[in-house]
Amino acid sequence: MDLLMVSSVLIGVITFCIIIGVPLAVSIVAGSLAAIFAHGGANPVIAPQRLFAGMDSFSLMAIPAFLLGGALMSRGGISERLIAFANALVGRFSGGLAISNVLSSVMFGGISGSAVADTSAIGGTFIPAMKNAGFPAAYSVGITAASSPISPLIPPSIAWIVYAYITDQSVMRLFIAGVVPGMLWAAALIFAAWLVARRNSYPVQAAAGASELWRTFVIALPALAMPFLLIGGILSAMFTVTEASVILVVYALLVSGLVYRELSWRILWESITSAARLTAAVMLILAGASLFAWMLAWVHAPETFGAWIRSWVTTPTMFLLIVNVLLLIVGMIMEVNAAKVMLLPVLFPISQELGVDPIHFGVVVTVNLCIGLVTPPIGIVLAIASQIGGISIAEGTRGTLPYVLVALAVLIALTFIPVLSTGLPDLLLGKALS
């Protein structure tokens, strides 16, 4: 009875607050406080203690530095150099600009780790260019929106840090685990974009010469080298993930200021304020999540829900299929990290009891929620891309639909073939101890 009453108050208040427009972090705290007072068996002083505990973690110090480094590089001339190199590399093929769009998202993802930043930076350049080249607006918006969610999979990414923090997993192992799924998703999108362009006889760019390809590669090299520098340094134990985030900031300052010479005091200030706002949003959500998770544990919700699930779910595959359906629905209305905060305290313990590899589970969860970024009614990435393209959400949705179906096919492959998620980290770091 305690579980039913507390859960009803908790979910009811959170849902009501979200509907009336209260920020998610505040909604979670309000729901948790309401549940504490409704139950009456816990001291309310636990609330500020849990809120502080939710932010008191050394690993979370990487978040503001990664966000600042990504903001500096995205504003410091990086995106233009990456786009120029991608165009020179694949612009000659059918749908070359669309293929270049996907490649730019992959390369930019290794810098920003943010789908929203990717859509704004890459989409702001590619969508107008594709329309001017004769591509339909819906096609231009669709491939931009569909490729941007790859960014949270490519390391370094805040999405992996949040998952690692909630589930107590290795950030480095998760970073590496995101590479193959991200590349697989990108390859599937490239094939789909090429097929659509070929069938519709969309424009083809003139082939870039070897000298142009080499020139754009050399110019883009400082940006392309950054993810390899960070991952290589961490793998070689030269620095930790948190230290790598600080190195990213220094590297971004050097590349943007000394190499590309596009860093100004205005850009520096805009980058700092942007990173500060995003850091505050993420940390407040994690603080609220700590209180939310404590409330669930206090009334034994994970154990009760887990026992119910285990009473009719008998295999890890069946559980993952149910999680896929649940998260695809949740992803339509909730941001990636917020959804992880709300659901992982319940779903992750069940996955471990059923023997699902925690890294494999993290990839399935993250890919699921990334797909939600391009699906209505929220679909924030779809909304941004449609706005840039000057079309309605409905038209943008039609343009994105083929690529969402491709993404779902990738998700099914990742669900049934765990080695796609666990193979590379096991190869580079050794098999994780069970």
Residue 17 lies in a domain: no
Structurally, the chain folds into a number of domains equal to 1
Interval 68-82: pLDDT, tens? 877 787 777 777 787
CB 346 within 8 A of CB 302: yes
* Mean pLDDT (whole number) for 26-30: 81
Amino acid at 337: N
Residue reference for tokens 């370094």: 156
pLDDT at 109: 67
Residue 83 has pLDDT above 60, yes or no: yes
| Residue 330: per-residue pLDDT | 79
For 333, the 3-state DSSP assignment is coil
Among the ranges given (74-88, 144-158, 405-419), the one the predictor scored with the smallest mean pLDDT:
74-88
Each residue of 277-334: pLDDT tens digit?
A: 878 877 777 777 777 777 777 777 666 777 777 777 878 888 999 889 888 887 776 7
Do 321 and 408 meet the contact criterion of CB atoms below 8 Å apart? no
The verdict on residue 12 lying in a domain is no
Q: Is residue 11 part of a domain?
A: no
- What is the Cα–Cα distance from 342 to 409, expressed in whole angstroms? 26
- Name the residue type at position 149: P
Q: What is the pLDDT of residues 216-242, one digit of tens each?
A: 888 888 877 877 777 777 777 787 777
Report the share of the chain in percent with pLDDT over 70.
Answer: 91
Residue 434 pLDDT greater than 60, yes or no: no
Owning domain of residue 203: 45-429
Q: What is the pLDDT of residue 1?
A: 47
Q: Is residue 33 part of a domain?
A: no
Contacts of 339 (CB under 8 A, 6+ apart): 327, 330, 331, 369, 372
* Rounded alpha-carbon distances, angstroms, from residue 157 to 16, 163, 173, 233, 404: 31, 10, 12, 16, 22
Residue 362 located in a structural domain: yes
What average pLDDT score do residues 105-109 get? Answer: 75
Class of residue 181 by CB neighbours under 10 A (exposed 0-12, middle 13-18, buried 19+): buried
Q: What is the pLDDT of residue 114?
A: 66
Residue 30, pLDDT > 80, answer yes
Please state the φ and ψ torsions of residue 315, each to the nearest 5 degrees.
-130, 155
- Among 71-75, 109-113, 210-214, 342-346, where is mean pLDDT lowest? 109-113
Residue 431: alpha-carbon gap to chain centroid: 25
Cβ(301)–Cβ(3) below 8 Å: yes
Q: How far apart are CA 363 and CA 421, in angstroms?
A: 7
* 37 falls within a domain: no
Tell me the mean pLDDT in the region 420-427. Answer: 91
| DSSP sequence for 354-370 | TT--HHHHHHHHHHHHH
The residue that leads in pLDDT, 155 or 195, is 195
Instruction: Give me the pLDDT at residue 34, please.
Output: 84
Q: What is the mean pLDDT of residues 30-55?
A: 77
Pick 95 or 390 by higher pLDDT: 390
Cα separation, 33 vs 231, in Å, equals 41
Judge contact between 28 and 291, C-beta under 8 A.
yes
More confident residue, 82 or 354: 354
| Selection from 366, 158, 363, 170 nearest residue 245 by Cα | 158
Collapsed DSSP state (helix, strand, coil) of residue 354: coil
Reading the block at residue 218, the tokens are 């050399």
User: Among residues 109, 110, 129, which one has the least CA distance to residue 119?
Assistant: 109
Whole-Å CA distances, 1 to 37, 304, 307, 340:
16, 12, 16, 27
Question: Is 365's pLDDT higher than 70?
Answer: yes
Rounded distance between C-alpha atoms, residue 315 and residue 224, angstroms = 42
DSSP string of 89-155, one letter each residue: HHTTSTTHHHHHHHHHHHHHHHHH--HHHHHHHHHHHHHHHHHHTT--HHHHHHHHHHHGGGGGGSS
Name the range with the highest mean pLDDT among 24-28, 129-133, 279-283, 398-402. Answer: 398-402
Least confident of 1-10, 96-105, 144-153: 1-10
Q: In the predicted model, is pLDDT for residue 433 greater than 70? A: no
Residue 212 domain-assigned?
Answer: yes
Residue 302, pLDDT score: 67
How far is residue 406's CA from residue 102's CA, in Å, rounded to a whole number? 14
The enclosing H or E element of 231 equals: helix 210-235
> Average pLDDT for residues 112-127, to the nearest whole number?
71
Q: What letters, b where the CB count within 10 A reaches 16 and e where it falls short, cover 346-370?
A: bbbbbbebbebbbbbbbbbbbbbbb
Structural tokens at position 374: 């391009």
Distance CA 287, CA 23 (A): 13
- Find all residues with CB under 8 Å of 410, minimum gap 6, and list them: 181, 184, 185, 188, 367
Q: Which two tokens stand for residue 43?
A: 């001291």
According to the per-residue pLDDT averaged within each range, which of 319-323, 359-363, 387-391 is highest?
A: 359-363
Considering the chain, what is the average pLDDT of its residues?
A: 81
Identify whether 387 is part of a domain: yes
The CA distance from 72 to 322, in Å, is 40
